[in-house]
Amino acid sequence: MKGYITLERMKFHAHHGVMPQERRVGNDFEVTVCLQYPLDKAAISDDLADTLNYAEVYETVAVEMATPSQLLEHVAGRIIRALSTRFPQIEGGTVTVAKLTPPFKCQMSAVSVSLSF
């Protein structure tokens, strides 16, 4: 049985960006992770020990969001590496990092990067 755990639109204020002001002032970001994980035991046992603890997933993402990067691609890659290291049972997934107010004149809700692994 394949299963997915998704944490949608986690909100962070972080200091990612190429422009000096972005690194100094920061911006608002949303991160969504969808992780493939063996959930068959949890579907039967109803025991947290048999699943991926999404509070711990959030903590892992928060640590990576607190470390400044220039590129959203780099942030998403660091999140993937950190999650894969902390939770080796993850079988794959997608990480999306969205910058909610890009530093140029435009009307859009966000700019985002998604990496799958």
Q: Which phi and psi (to 5°) does residue 108 adopt?
A: -155, 160
Give the chain's end-to-end CA distance (angstroms, integer). Answer: 19
Q: Give the tens place of pLDDT for each residue, 11-60.
A: 999 999 998 888 899 999 999 999 999 999 999 999 999 999 999 999 99
As a CATH number, domain 2-116 is: 3.30.1130.10
Other Cβ atoms closer than 10 A to 43? 12
Residue 1 has pLDDT above 80, yes or no: no
**pTM, to two decimals:** 0.93
